[in-house]
Every structure is written in structure tokens, then in C-alpha cells.
Structure 1
Amino acid sequence: MIFFILFTILPVILSVVMGFTYYNLIEPPRFIGWYNYIRLFLDDDIFIIALKNTMLFAFITGPISYALSFIVAWIINDLSRTLRSIATVLFYIPTIIGVSVYPMWRLIFSPDAFGYLNGTLMKWGFLREPVAWLIDQNQLLVILIIVQLWMSMGISFLAFVAGLQTIDGSLYEAGVMDGIKNRFQELWYITLPSMIPQLVFGAVMQIVISFSVADVSIQLAGFPSTEYAGETMVTHIMDYGSIRYEMGYASSLAVVLFVLMVLTNRIVTRLLNKVGI
């Protein structure tokens, strides 16, 4: 509880308080009221880009990663213990090695003819000249979303694998006696209701991960990216907090991101409750 208060509750409270101040780490914080939030919504064009990109990441990678994590976990659940362990490692490993393979992705999307994607497309006649994939603002966000999806089967996936292993097998036997005829009825009437804690945990974690995208943008698109095409809320916070040292403004950005996460979490929880999960 002490660690939770010191490293979770207290930073959130301090961010809310600091959001109403001007603080540059040198001078004492100066109360300026709602100025940071007015500036944020009315005078910061980059914030609007970051907000749009973050919402795209959240509403594309979030649901797709959540669904893929559960489907893959469900499919491999019936494998033998050894095969299931191997499959779990194979699907989870991109999350572990994600940072180390960014050079591979940069090589794939290299802007010259030696890049794997450009070279392949030019060889097959789809392109006449190389495309600067990671510089072209029209292509950049799509590429970042694809890479993020590849890396997104993380904690939620492991929670689903573990949850499926805890379901009592006698429930499926009873289901057959009660008229369940196929795997999908089994999934809907037994598996999902039996995994309520894991499903809720997975949803919360997926929301946090999808809203806090930053590394993939920094590593592939640069910091800042071309015309801020890959800017997200977290990279915008890093810009003002770690580079410009406008800690008050960075705190107001963090508060907005926190509110977005909380609201999305409430919406997702209600949707799960509506379908009886």
C-alpha cells in the first residue's frame, strides 16, 4: 500500500496540482489557473495531432490486439502442455524483444532501393522508385500501427492463457449434458463467463498500452517525426516535460491522457457488462 500510494496515487495528485501551475524546474511553481488547459485546446496545434493519433492507436490496436490475444490463447489452449508452452513463447516474444528489433523494421522500411519492402515492390513492378515510408506522413501512421500490433500480444495474452487453464473441465461436461453442441456455444456460455477477472484485467491493460504508445514512434519515425505525423500524447508529454522543461504544461497533458484512459475503461467495462461478461 505504501508503494502504491508513493508511486501511483501521489504522482497522479501531483500531476493534477501541477497542471494549474507554471513550473520550469528552476523557479518555484507559479499558479496560473486554467491557462495550461486553455492553451492546450486552443493554441497547441500539435496537441490536436497527438490526440488524434493516440485515439487512432487506441481504437485500432486496442480492440484488435485484445481480440487476437484471446483468440490465439483459446486456440492453443487445447494443445499439449509442451506445444502450448512453445506457442505461448512464440506469440509473446515480440513483446519482449520489441526494442531490439527496431533496426530490423527500419531496414524493412528503409527509404532507398535496398530496403526490403522497397526492393521487393520494385522487383515485382509495383513501384518505379523507392518510397520513404518512415518519412512520408501519409504512410507513417499506418506503419506505426502495424508494428505496434505485432508487438501488442503481451500481458493480456498471458492472462488469457492462464485464465483458460483455470477453468474447471467439469463445466464443459455439464454443458454437453445441458445441450451445448459446438465449440462456439462452449465459448459463449462457459469459457467467457468463467474468465471474467482475466477479461477485465486484459481490457484494462490493453487500454493502458494502446494509449501510452511512444517508443515505436520515437524509434521508427524520430523525435519529433516528420510534420509530427507520428506524434502521440506520450511523446508530446515527453517533449514538454523532458526537453522544454515546461513541467506544468506537461502535467496538464498527462491529466488529459489519464482522463481519456479512465473514460475509455468505464465504457469498455460497461460494454462487457452488457454482453453478460
Structure 2
Amino acid sequence: MPPNAGGPAANTRLRALRSRIGRLFREMRKHKHAYALITPYFLIFGTFTVFPVLMSLCLSFTSFNMLEPPKWVGWSNYARLFVQDDVFLIALKNTLLFALITGPISYMACFLFAWLINELPPKLRALLTLILYAPSISGNTYLIWQTLFASDSYGYANSFLIKWGVIMEPIQWLQDPRFVLGILILVQLWLSLGTSFLAFIAGLQNVDRTLYEAGAIDGIRNRWQELWFITLPAMRPQLLFGAVIQITLAFSVAEISIYMIGFPSVDYAAHTIVTHLVDYGSIRYEMGYASAIATVLFTMMLCTNLLTRKLLGKVGE
């Protein structure tokens, strides 16, 4: 085929592509030391994050029990997931409900507490930050809540309600499907002041104070206008980081369900997508089916993350 078979337009696009590639390589040579420093991180990230995700996506189209070579089954795992697996549909409903409640509330709570604490003197701010952050790293979290919602009359919740005449006999809090999911949501909200909370405090501390002076000159008259037009736009990186963390926590809930309620939970009332993944991946060793579950979860988290990025981009407008 002649070199000019594509016409002038094709040649123009080809020259533009070569120009961009040339600029890219020149920039890489110019900043070669910076690229050398971040290369180990990208190698680790690619090996332990990108590669497993791609491998899981490929395995989701196979039948694989870890003893025999994977067998290609196409979309069978996904058809089974949404058409035949009633337990997965329960897990999907529980996960979405859990995420819709705990995600936004915990995100706003992290920012609200960080915003309020940021106005305090340094020593008091450090003390309150430690107090609020402590539950997220506490090792006896489940023991505290199991004691609070114990099924006998010695449980704090039952004892209080019996004392005040609200109930006549103890409630089986952690065995009754009516209360299980609500208790898990409550526990997750209590644990939510973690990494995002610290990121928001750091972001508030790094906002340029001269922006508030410039805002006052431009017509900003109250704290809410300062928050919307100055503070939040200046904190977009921290807001995005906090959103990613809260989305991950909201969709990946499993540990508190397994340790507090048991596995499996009564009537699958506390069953989530991750506990379903644990069931098929770590107990039954149906790795192809487990990979399909993981792919669905990853897609849900990715779509939520993209939507959150779009919403955060409108902050300050």
C-alpha cells in the first residue's frame, strides 16, 4: 500500500501522534530521576494489585477448583450469579443497603468532626483526634458490642430496656434477622472515624489562610460560604482520598459480620458480597465463581468511585 494511501488527514494524525510520543519521551528523559524513584512502587502496585485484578477477571470466565486446570465456561458464572444464586441476591441487597447508609453518613461525619476539631487549640485538638480515632484501631471492638447486645438479661441493651419496662424478656439481638443488619450499620458508623478522618484534619491544616482573607475581600461573609467556596475546593485531594476509603469500607464489610454475628448469619440477614466471596473462595474453593463475585464487587466500587469523583468536581461551583 502506498505511504499516502490514507490521505492527508491520516498523515496529519500520524505526525501528531509521533509528535506526542516524542514529547513524552523527552519529558521522561528530563525527569528520569523522578521516574526511577517511583518505579519500585509501580512494580509492587502492578504485581500485587493490577495483575491480581486482571487474573481475577480472566478466571471469572472459567471453572477452577485450584486442583485442576481452569476450564473455560464463558458467561456461565455470571448467569449463575444473578439468575440461580438466591443467596448472592440477598448479599447484594444487604451490601447496597449497608453502603447507601454507612457510606454517605460516615463520610460526612468524618468531615464534620474534622472541621469542628480543627478550630480547637492544638493540644485539645490532638486529644480529641486520638479519642475519636481510637475505635477504628481498637482490638476489642467486637467484644464491646457483643457485650452491649448480649442475648441474656446481663447485656447492657436488654438490661436497660427491662429496667425501664420497655420489654419483659431479653431480645436475641444478634440472632434476630430484624436487628442484625441495623446493629452492623451502627457498629460500622462507630468505626468510621479512621483514615478519612485523619486525612480531612491534615487537609484542613494545610489550607492557605490567605485564601480566607482574599475571600472576605471578594464578598464572602459567613463560615458556610467559606466552607463551600474556599475550604472544600482547597481540599479536593483529601476529599477524594476520603471518598475512596469510605467507599472501600462500605462495600467490603465482612469482618464485623463474621466476628459478631457468625458465619453464615441467621437467614443470611448479615450476608454481604464479601462474605459470599469468602464462602466460595476460601471454603468451597470454587475460584472461578469466586472471581466472578469479586469482579462484580470491583465493578460496583469502580462505578461508585467515578460517580463520587464527578460529584466532588462540582464542589465550589
TM-score (norm 1): 0.97
- Aligned residue in 1 for 2:121: 80
Decide which of 214, 218, 235 is 2:258's aligned counterpart.
218
- Aligned residue in 2 for 1:95: 136
Structure 2 Cα separation of the partners of residues 90 and 198 of structure 1 = 21
Structure 2 unaligned residues grouped into runs of 5+: 1-41
1:94 to partner: Cα distance: 0.8
Matched, 1:50 2:91: yes
Residues 149-169 of structure 1 show CA distances to partners (whole Å, capped at 9, x for unaligned) of: 000111111110000010111
Structure 1 unaligned residues grouped into runs of 5+: none
Matched, 1:192 2:217: no
- Aligned residue in 1 for 2:183: 143
Counterpart AA for 1:91: L
Decide which of 204, 216, 222 is 1:164's aligned counterpart.
204
Decide which of 65, 70, 73 is 2:106's aligned counterpart.
65
Decide which of 235, 241, 247 is 2:275's aligned counterpart.
235
- Aligned residue in 1 for 2:173: 133
Counterpart AA for 2:174: L
TM-score (norm 2): 0.85
Q: Is the 8 A contact 2:195 2:242 kept in 1?
A: yes
Structure 1 Cα separation of the partners of residues 276 and 66 of structure 2 = 18
- Aligned residue in 1 for 2:77: 36
- In terms of Rg, which structure is larger? 2
Identity level (%): 56
- Between 1 and 2, higher relative CO (CA 8 Å, sep ≥ 6) is seen in 1
The alignment's C-alpha RMSD in Å is 1.1
Structure 1 Cα separation of the partners of residues 148 and 125 of structure 2 = 30
Counterpart AA for 1:148: Q
1:238-253 to 2 correspondence within 5 Å? 238-253=278-293
Provide the aligned length of Structure 1 versus Structure 2: 276
Structure 1 Cα separation of the partners of residues 305 and 209 of structure 2 = 31
Structure 1 Cα separation of the partners of residues 178 and 73 of structure 2 = 38
Residues 220-249 of structure 1 show CA distances to partners (whole Å, capped at 9, x for unaligned) of: 110111011000111100000001111111
1:178 to partner: Cα distance: 2.3
